[in-house]
Amino acid sequence: MRHLLAVAAGLAVLAASACSTPTPPRSAAPSATPTGPATLPAPTGAHPVGTTALHLKDTSRPDPWNLDVAARELKVTLWYPAKQRDGQRAPYMTPKEAQLAMRRYGIAGIPDDTLSKTRTNAIKDAEPTGRKLPLVVVSPGFTNPMSTLTSLAEDLASRGYVVAGIDHTYESYATTLADGRVAECLACDSDADPGFGTGVVAGRAADVSFVLDQLPSKWDGSDRIDRSKIAMAGQSIGGASAMAAMVKDSRVRAGIDMDGTTYARIPKTGFTRPFMFLGSAQHVPGGRDTSWDRDWKLLTGWKCWIVLSGAEHQSFTDGPLIADALGIKPAYGVLPAARAAELTRTYVAAFLDQHLKAQPQPLLDKPSSRYPEAKICPATCGQS
């Protein structure tokens, strides 16, 4: 499990000119001077974006990490098309969350509240707009709070989706609960245990099903959601959890795994719902991580496998976008932050537009000269 700022440690690996074995990692460049608060890129869709937070409690099961808690508490952040463009911008994270994250990331010499000053684009508690909107559930990587996928969530909302981002309590460095307590990462000391990944994705799949059960009664804007059009996307173990959730819950109609080793077992008879792998060079066919090779054979419906040249594990998150604010210079050869965000947003949206909005996407039919970093393995996406 690699945390948000792995880019600083020179963990990047570069894809070759085709979907082949990656070249060795190159060394990281030295730290740079912090630039001040980061600004997330503007959403590309036509809609203003609103956001709000829900706090949910599942009394049917105990928390898997905190043995003293008899119910599973979750924070769910919603992003959605909004009626207004003006208003108070939502905070990226609270100062306390930022402080805990900075300490766990081991970043010294930078004010503890730096991450909390990251500028977002969504209006806090704005009134939602639209009807029959598809829903995308989003799950972050292990140790990462949901805020680290804010840029992608804002962009999807601007394109006409409702996004439900789940903070899986005790699995990230900081999650603020309903009563103001900040839950730290109790699971962080267990990630070397046998069966850890399998257990995490099973727990997250249960979180997803609970959130889908609760949304109709807990969010005033839920009547705008088309509940026949639900997908899930995630990064790292959040991406692995997308597959686990789909296996468990038939309401999730399509899924995206962004650079996550998979753990859930697909039925040997095959899995017909649409799925996309979007990853770095560790996930080329026959590469270091073989879980995608195993699962690819069992995906019997529409499927896609894309590797981004120059991407590293956190290229699919906000990590590279906020690195300058923390005085972190990426490793040589790593995909630039703005380009990584553009590619991630573009291919995630194309997949969702095709499978939740029934809008054919030529971008997924063959390699694109506009996005030469995206290597499709094999050369096209489609029905198995």
* CATH number reported for the structural domain that contains residue 234 in this entry: 3.40.50.1820
Interior/surface letters 81-112, b for 16+ CB within 10 angstroms, e for the rest: bbeeeeeeebbbbbeebbbbbbebbebeeeee
Q: How far apart are CA 178 and CA 60, in angstroms?
A: 18
Asked if residue 17 has pLDDT above 70, the reply is no
pLDDT tens-digit map of 67-80: 999 999 999 999 99
- Per-residue pLDDT, 211: 98
Residue 41 lies in a domain: yes
Residue 86 lies in a domain: yes
pLDDT tens-digit map of 162-212: 999 999 999 999 999 999 999 999 999 888 888 999 999 999 999 999 999
Q: Are 140 and 165 in contact (CB under 8 A)?
A: yes
Mean pLDDT calculated for residue range 323-345: 91
Asked if residue 27 has pLDDT above 60, the reply is no
Name the one residue in this structure whose structure tokens are 């694109």. 368
Q: Indicate the number of domains in the chain.
A: 1
- Per-residue pLDDT, 323: 92
Residue 350: count of CB within 10 angstroms of its CB: 20
Mean pLDDT of the chain: 91
Residue 277 lies in a domain: yes
- Per-residue pLDDT, 229: 98
Mean pLDDT calculated for residue range 221-226: 97
Q: How far apart are CA 251 and CA 326, in angstroms?
A: 40
Q: How far apart are CA 324 and CA 149, in angstroms?
A: 17
Q: Are 174 and 143 in contact (CB under 8 A)?
A: no
Q: How far apart are CA 257 and CA 273, in angstroms?
A: 14
Residue 232 lies in a domain: yes
Q: Are 251 and 212 in contact (CB under 8 A)?
A: yes
Residue 292 lies in a domain: yes
Q: % helix / strand / coil in the chain, to the nearest 5?
A: 30, 20, 50
- Per-residue pLDDT, 19: 74
Residue 1 lies in a domain: no
3-class secondary structure, 364 = helix
The token duo for 289 is: 């991580």
> Helices in the chain by DSSP H: which ranges?
95-105, 150-158, 196-218, 237-248, 291-296, 319-323, 337-356
Find the range with the poorest average confidence among 108-117, 245-254, 309-318. Answer: 108-117
State how far Cα 141 lies from the chain centre.
7
C-alpha distances in angstroms, 253 versus 8, 161, 271, 324?
Answer: 36, 15, 11, 37
User: What band does 4 get if pLDDT is binned at 50, 70 and 90?
Assistant: very low
- Per-residue pLDDT, 179: 95
- Per-residue pLDDT, 32: 64
Mean pLDDT calculated for residue range 331-353: 95
- Per-residue pLDDT, 26: 44
- Per-residue pLDDT, 275: 98
Mean pLDDT calculated for residue range 354-360: 98
Q: How far apart are CA 353 and CA 356, in angstroms?
A: 6
Q: What range defines the domain where residue 206 resides?
A: 6-383
- Per-residue pLDDT, 20: 65
Asked if residue 214 has pLDDT above 90, the reply is yes
Residue 105 lies in a domain: yes
3-class secondary structure, 10 = coil
Q: How far apart are CA 271 and CA 246, in angstroms?
A: 9
Amino acid at 172: S
User: What band does 14 get if pLDDT is binned at 50, 70 and 90?
Assistant: very low
Residue 104 lies in a domain: yes
Asked if residue 104 has pLDDT above 60, the reply is yes
Asked if residue 108 has pLDDT above 90, the reply is no
User: What band does 107 get if pLDDT is binned at 50, 70 and 90?
Assistant: confident
- Predicted TM-score (pTM) of the model is 0.93
Asked if residue 332 has pLDDT above 80, the reply is no
User: What band does 103 get if pLDDT is binned at 50, 70 and 90?
Assistant: confident
pLDDT tens-digit map of 258-290: 999 999 999 999 999 999 999 999 999 998 899
Asked if residue 87 has pLDDT above 90, the reply is yes
